[in-house]
Amino acid sequence: MPENEVPVSAEPGSEKRMTVLQATFIGVGSMVGAGIFALLGAAGAVAGSAVWLSFLIAGIIAALQGYSFAKLGAKYPSGGGILTYLSRGLGEGHLTGIGSWLFFTAGSIVVAMIATSFGGYASSVVAEGDPVWAKVLAVALIVVMSILNTVGATAVARVQSVIVLIVLGILVVFAAVTLANLDPALLAPAGYPGAREIVASVALTFFAFLGFGVITFTAKDLPNPSRQLPRAIYLALAIATTIYVAVSLGVFGTLTADQVVEYGATALAEAAKPALGQAGYVLMVITALFSTTGAVNAGLYPSIGMTQHLASVGQFPPAFGRSVGRFPVGLIVMAALATVLVLGFDLNKIASIGSAVALLVFSAVTIAHFRLHRETGASLIMLIIALVATLGTFVIFCTTTLVEEPATAFALVAIIVLAVVIDFVWKAGARRKAPRA
């Protein structure tokens, strides 16, 4: 096999049955669940009624990264997704290892955040918003979706397609109704905060686009990943950005920014009331449950292929390439870590840490791409713009959000230090155990 080609792993005798649309829905399902139902209140606290602009800017940054990922994915399709790209550009050393542990952690944070949002909605239906029940239901969702992921990629893709079609259909109706009845005064630029606050909120709303990175791990299940993977990435980002902008305009054109912040995770349901009444509220709660369920499903999906790939190249311990019964170890660890985060962190802190970690990992992948751009055919100028935009967002995040949230800053530093320690300790131990020539 030529040196610049990476085999896309599949089980012996298995057929790759995932379509471009199903791969797209894996990404859309992961993004929409995080962005719309979990972040509007938190983003509104920073950007006010200009949240739609924050989503648009975040979508542009994600599109720049999507361009990089699409070029890399077409050249190096692998079950290891973006972590394969990292190792291709930086080698299988400590930088790749640390980036891999960070990305695995970011994936767990995404799952935890969305499961927490699901728990909040579900508890409002069955337990009058009891916070204990909210955590119980969030953990239950993680367990159920973990079981689904053991059935196989085909089952995950089919379930995801159904969920996303339902969610998108309802959100399109919601956006159309709220946009038709919005109050333009609520969206007047005169009421926007300063440019610094809007840009600072991008670090938070960018979390809503983290799901597109999940699509890179579908390469192992696509019949022709070099052509299909870029299509899935671009289509997913276009759908998510359009939905985010339209829905945020509808919500902030119906409710004041203070009301959105107050309602938090249920802001969409409240925004549906003026036009659709109580039925609209109930419909959006149901949509939120579907959406967050799909997002957790999609968030757990890459844990299997990703950790098996990393174990095979020596970045993760060999145990991550094994299974306990039908449950792959990588899936078990991610689900367990997400459960700890659900029980120990609040929604906003989880989102902030996840965004920061993802921005660092995505920046590292772009740096790795600089060394590969001649092979992938990517424009060096586009890659530079993507890196500046991504790192710039991270710097602004550090100088705004982290300054105001010292606990979050401490947690971020702790995660980075832990990733460094784990990588160095694991590899030092592996070298000592390796047979000497």
Please state, for a pLDDT cut of 90, what percent of the chain lies above it. 10
| Torsion angle of C-alpha atoms 108, 109, 110, 116, degrees rounded to 10 | 110
Task: Give 113 or 337, the one with higher predicted confidence.
Answer: 337
pLDDT digits (tens, 9 = 90+) for 270-295: 787 877 777 777 787 888 888 888 78
pLDDT digits (tens, 9 = 90+) for 215-232: 887 777 788 888 888 899
Could you give the 3-state DSSP secondary structure of residue 404?
A: helix
Say what the pLDDT of residue 245 is.
92
Question: What's the mean per-residue pLDDT of the chain?
Answer: 81
| Separation of alpha carbons 223 and 242, rounded Å | 28
Single-letter code of the amino acid located at 103: F
pLDDT digits (tens, 9 = 90+) for 99-110: 888 888 878 887
Q: Please, which pLDDT band fits residue 8 given cuts at 50, 70 and 90?
A: very low
| Separation of alpha carbons 145 and 143, rounded Å | 6
Q: 13 is written with which tokens?
A: 């005798």
Residue 153 and residue 16 in contact, taking contact as beta carbons nearer than 8 Å: no
What domains can you pick out in the chain, each with its CATH number?
20-431 (1.20.1740.10)
Please give the average per-residue pLDDT across 61-86, as a whole number: 84
pLDDT digits (tens, 9 = 90+) for 327-371: 888 889 999 989 988 887 765 555 667 777 878 888 888 999 999
Give the chain's length: 437
pTM of the model: 0.79
Lowest mean pLDDT: which of 56-60, 84-88, 331-335, 407-411? 407-411
